[in-house]
Structure 1
Amino acid sequence: MTADQRRALPSPSLKQTRRAAAAGLGGTLLEYYDFAIYGLAAALVFGPVFFPSADPTVGVLASFATFGVGFLARPLGGAVFGHFGDRLGRKNVLVTTMLIMGVSTVLIGCLPGYDSIGHWGAVLLVLLRLAQGFAFGGEQPGAVLLVAEHASAGRRGLFASLPGVGVSFGLVLGNLAFLAVSTTMDPAAVQTWGWRIPFWAGGLLVLIGLLVRFGLAETPDFERNKANAQVSASPILDVIRTHPTQILLAGGVQAGQAVASYIAVVYSLAYAREHDVPAALPLLGIILSGVLHLALVPAAGALSDRLGRLPTYLAGALFIAVTSLFFLPMIATGSAVLVLAAYLLLFGIGWAVITGVYPVMLAEAFATKVSYSGLSLGMQLGVVVGGVTPFVATLVSTAPNGPTLLGIGLSVVALLSAWCAAAIVGRTARAHGAAAMNQPVAVGAADAQP
């Protein structure tokens, strides 16, 4: 291919950009739909179905352990799919991750319980959960890149935020699916077969998502690198060698988002129960926050296109740093107004703002030929930190003034994530030769860094 031909590679059409946005949103929707229905099933039915025990608590703990093993496979999945995403292209890898996620979800709904095949049911459940986690590790970073590399510079923040909308949409849809089953069926039927329906329904989401992804073109940035013979032979090794600081900073940014979400979505439920808060209130707060995300996440992404990545992110991080000091005390009051306000402030507004900005901010920080690998390593590093948050929070809560310490801790994490954001945007601006750190820059221009 001649130099003129390489320069003539077409820019993405608005139709392809919108299709990429739909493909990215659909993947994260499925991912967090699975997250929601698996978590609810682990809490409500997996104990007696797969881990029958004289002590129901033991069964619940065992089922939650299967929930946790999915996080163990995420870093490996991020590394493997990051490698192939940089070598073979974003589209093909994302079709593969969606297939693995979807097939695993449907098969979980088909598993026989302990009464049929004994402990083999639990073994198969763990294996399928590991497969889900493995695919999850490569899904979100790839979805962000797929959209960011298709979008024009002036609207990249808006489009790259849309996979974050899928996070909230999936959580809301998963909760509604289980709510529909539990309120329309007899409890005995739910325990025996009704819980399987949300998992089977995940198969429909997969079919829709695959139809969108099969019709999508590869990203122009990857095609340009391929045409210029700039595809890395060992992207994981290359990104560790050339972008080690960006990986760590990306992990710090991701950790701020992950810690806030796991405090709000997981730990706060146990905290509310300890303070005799009606169970419906925190769940309603989470659902209302998820609905609010549908508007605020893309709004934050669009705002970053106008005001810059860093100012928008800092606004969200500082908002979390302040509201986290009051989050748990507001829940402890038991007042419906204060409980709902706590979720809407911390999770509905603060979390939505940083979630709308950080994907494009991280996508712009890595050279195109190693961006999938770099994003995967950085994001999964942050997710691992977030995954241990409920456990650490439970330990801290037992100390004197535990809730106060937790609020301060979350505030500190938010401020650290803001510092990581400032550092990574500064490095990106210098690599791009941008005059101002809040100036939107092209994905992949970090190729200029040594």
Structure 2
Amino acid sequence: MSETARPSTRADRRPARTAAISGFFGTTLEYYDFLIYGTAAALYFGPVFFPGNSYATLLSLGSIGVAYVARPFGAIVWGHLGDRIGRKRILLAILLTMGVATFLVGCVPSTAAIGPAAPVILICLRVVQGISAGGEQAGSALLALEHAPDNRRGFYTSWTQGGSQLGNFLAFVVFVPLAAVLPESAMSAWGWRIPFWASAVVVLVTFFLRRRLSEPPVRRQLEREGLASKVPLLAVLRDHRAAVVRIVLASVCIAPAGLVYIFGLSYGTTVVGLGKTGLLNLVSAASLLMVVTQPLFGLLSDRIGRKPVFVVGAAGTAVTVPLWLNGLRAGNWLQIYTFGLLLLGVFVAMTAGIVLATFLEMFPADIRFSGMAVSFTTGIVVTGFIPAIAQSMIQADPHDLTPISWLFAGIMVVSGAAIASARETARIPTAELGMSRRRTKTGPAGNVESSLVKPR
């Protein structure tokens, strides 16, 4: 495939900026939707959808997990369609699927109103959310990367990850003013529905931005030359197994966020006796800080390469985790905040801010959506079990957090090694990503002529 001309003027960069902003809001919506469902399930869904059941809370919380089961299936479906028929149309479909499902969750009548159909409808909508989420993050980042100038792919793609952090922040705070203004009876009856309805605003903004985008140049060239893969996933598994393994292993670099958000909140409140407000404030502050720092590290990776930024972030994370855990165990707020913000806002931001660009750049354009969506989603599913593993390691002695420090040191070594062993892709033209050079012959002037081929 010949190299496609890349944006060079300020006007030409507008599609890249629009793609980055739409990716930011799209991922904001994805994470906002996922987390408000979890909050509502923990606080309100039990009596609304499972009344009179002694396992109401368990059933309510269990409904959260069905989305994670559905997510890999969504990655396969959306990835295939995105590679076969184009990025823009599929991302619009993903956005509307997530938006409609989330809005309808806020409309589901209670079990008291329509009987057993209520929880069935609720769970079906949660499955739709999971299917949608399987393609949103990978697809948003892909659209930004393929519209970006060659020397700014890391920067523009990092905004997709920034959106996930803003979604985390909004989901944490959205219920606070409602609970402060409305009485508990009103919150249980209808107040919990407002955050689901409010997501429609983000859907409309993102839909408007994505409607303005055209297909990326590299995708249009595939269509002109008739090079779109017929079965993208098969090509991924046949020709790019090493990239898939690297992505699954490297995806665990985001696990320290779960250590702070999930394990830290549970351990700090139940074992150490810290107040929830202080720990939630840490999570909120870290989320906002990462919105700012991730694009900066994306820009840095454009300057010096993906591998050095990622490896330094992984090493810094491994060193900072035990420092934060010691502060948490001691109940020392200064250490908790200092090392927590350093851990998430700097070192995790170094890895998480560039993972999407790093992973996408491992695949050629005709299978990029499928390769990224399936590999990254598999890695996320694996990562989701790490907080539970950490908790199981301290069952015998809750005050000995050393095993968790070693666990995360091992995780970050594996993650860093997976990227360190990969090809540096930051300076490869977008049209040549995922391809390898093969010598063919020596030219008249003694120079080696080469051609681009897909790795086998």
TM-score (norm 1): 0.92
Cα deviations by residue, 1:42-83 (Å, 9 ceiling, x for unpaired) = 22111222223465xx33222221111110011110011100
- 1:60 maps to 57
- 1:261 maps to 257
- 1:135 maps to 132
Contact (CA 8 Å) 1:74, 1:134: kept in 2 or not? yes
Q: Does 1:212 align with 2:199?
A: no
- 2:378 maps to 381
What is the CA–CA distance in structure 1 between the aligned matches of 2:116 and 2:391, rounded to whole Å? Answer: 30
Cα deviations by residue, 1:258-311 (Å, 9 ceiling, x for unpaired) = x22222222221111212110011100000001111210000000001111000
- 1:349 maps to 346
Q: Which runs of 5+ in 1 are unaligned?
A: 427-436
What is the CA–CA distance in structure 1 between the aligned matches of 2:212 and 2:76, rounded to whole Å? Answer: 26
Q: Which amino acid aligns with 2:331?
A: G
Cα deviations by residue, 1:151-176 (Å, 9 ceiling, x for unpaired) = 01111111010101101111112222
| Local SS of the residue matching 1:277 | coil
Q: Does 1:417 align with 2:404?
A: no
Contact (CA 8 Å) 2:6, 2:149: kept in 1 or not? no
Q: Which amino acid aligns with 1:423?
A: S
What CA RMSD, in Å, does the superposition of the two structures yield over aligned residues?
1.8
Cα deviations by residue, 1:82-103 (Å, 9 ceiling, x for unpaired) = 0011111111110011001100
What is the CA–CA distance in structure 2 between the aligned matches of 1:65 and 1:248, rounded to whole Å? Answer: 30
Q: Does 1:51 align with 2:50?
A: yes
What is the CA–CA distance in structure 2 between the aligned matches of 1:397 and 1:53, rounded to whole Å? Answer: 35
- 1:277 maps to 274
Contact (CA 8 Å) 1:86, 1:370: kept in 2 or not? yes
- Decide which of 188, 193, 199 is 1:191's aligned counterpart: 188
- 2:98 maps to 101
Q: Which amino acid aligns with 2:264?
A: S
Q: Which amino acid aligns with 1:163?
A: T
What is the CA–CA distance in structure 2 between the aligned matches of 1:8 and 1:418, rounded to whole Å? Answer: 32
What is the CA–CA distance in structure 2 between the aligned matches of 1:10 and 1:307, rounded to whole Å? Answer: 20
Contact (CA 8 Å) 1:281, 1:340: kept in 2 or not? no
Alignment of 1:309-348 (within 5 A): 309-348=306-345
> How many residues are treated as equivalent by the alignment?
432
Q: Which runs of 5+ in 2 are unaligned?
A: 436-452
Cα deviations by residue, 1:226-254 (Å, 9 ceiling, x for unpaired) = 11211001101011101011011111111
Contact (CA 8 Å) 1:327, 1:407: kept in 2 or not? no
Q: Does 1:407 align with 2:405?
A: yes
Contact (CA 8 Å) 1:74, 1:136: kept in 2 or not? yes
Instruction: Please say which structure displays the higher CA radius of gyration.
Output: 2
- 1:434 maps to none
| Local SS of the residue matching 2:378 | helix
Contact (CA 8 Å) 2:4, 2:217: kept in 1 or not? no
What is the CA–CA distance in structure 2 between the aligned matches of 1:314 and 1:399, rounded to whole Å? Answer: 33
**Cα distance change on mapping 1:53 and 1:19 into 2, 3 Å:** same
- 1:449 maps to 454
- 2:16 maps to 17
Q: Does 1:119 align with 2:116?
A: yes
What is the CA–CA distance in structure 2 between the aligned matches of 1:213 and 1:367, rounded to whole Å? Answer: 23
What is the CA–CA distance in structure 1 between the aligned matches of 2:104 and 2:41, rounded to whole Å? Answer: 16
Contact (CA 8 Å) 1:75, 1:380: kept in 2 or not? yes
Percent of aligned pairs with the same amino acid: 33
User: Which deviates more from structure 2 when the two are superposed, residues 20-29 or residues 175-184?
Assistant: 175-184
What is the CA–CA distance in structure 1 between the aligned matches of 2:360 and 2:203, rounded to whole Å? Answer: 25
- 1:432 maps to none
Q: CA deviation at 1:211?
A: 0.8
Q: CA deviation at 1:315?
A: 1.2
| Local SS of the residue matching 2:229 | coil
Contact (CA 8 Å) 1:78, 1:134: kept in 2 or not? yes
| Local SS of the residue matching 2:429 | coil
Q: CA deviation at 1:438?
A: 7.0
Contact (CA 8 Å) 2:253, 2:352: kept in 1 or not? no
What is the CA–CA distance in structure 2 between the aligned matches of 1:324 and 1:438, rounded to whole Å? Answer: 29
Alignment of 1:240-259 (within 5 A): 240-257=237-254, 259=255
- 1:398 maps to 395
Q: CA deviation at 1:367?
A: 1.0
- Decide which of 66, 69, 73 is 2:70's aligned counterpart: 73
Q: Which amino acid aligns with 2:124?
A: L
Q: Which amino acid aligns with 1:121?
A: A
| Local SS of the residue matching 1:195 | helix
| Local SS of the residue matching 1:213 | helix
Q: CA deviation at 1:219?
A: 0.8
Which segments of structure 1 move beyond 3 Å, counting only runs of 4 or more?
6-12, 399-402
Q: Does 1:440 align with 2:427?
A: yes
Q: CA deviation at 1:7?
A: 7.4
Q: CA deviation at 1:26?
A: 1.3
Q: CA deviation at 1:332?
A: 2.3
- 1:200 maps to 197
User: Which deviates more from structure 2 when the two are superposed, residues 221-230 or residues 11-20?
Assistant: 11-20
Q: Which amino acid aligns with 2:240?
A: H
User: Which deviates more from structure 2 when the two are superposed, residues 79-88 or residues 248-257?
Assistant: 248-257
What is the CA–CA distance in structure 1 between the aligned matches of 2:374 and 2:394, rounded to whole Å? Answer: 31
User: Which deviates more from structure 2 when the two are superposed, residues 9-18 or residues 372-381?
Assistant: 9-18
| Local SS of the residue matching 1:26 | helix
Q: Which amino acid aligns with 1:440?
A: R
- Decide which of 360, 368, 371 is 2:368's aligned counterpart: 371
What is the CA–CA distance in structure 2 between the aligned matches of 1:8 and 1:443, rounded to whole Å? Answer: 8
- 1:110 maps to 107
Q: CA deviation at 1:10?
A: 7.5
Q: CA deviation at 1:183?
A: 1.6
User: Which deviates more from structure 2 when the two are superposed, residues 391-400 or residues 248-257?
Assistant: 391-400
Cα deviations by residue, 1:75-132 (Å, 9 ceiling, x for unpaired) = 1100111001111111111001100110011001111122222332221111111100
TM-score (norm 2): 0.91
What is the CA–CA distance in structure 2 between the aligned matches of 1:167 and 1:154, rounded to whole Å? Answer: 24
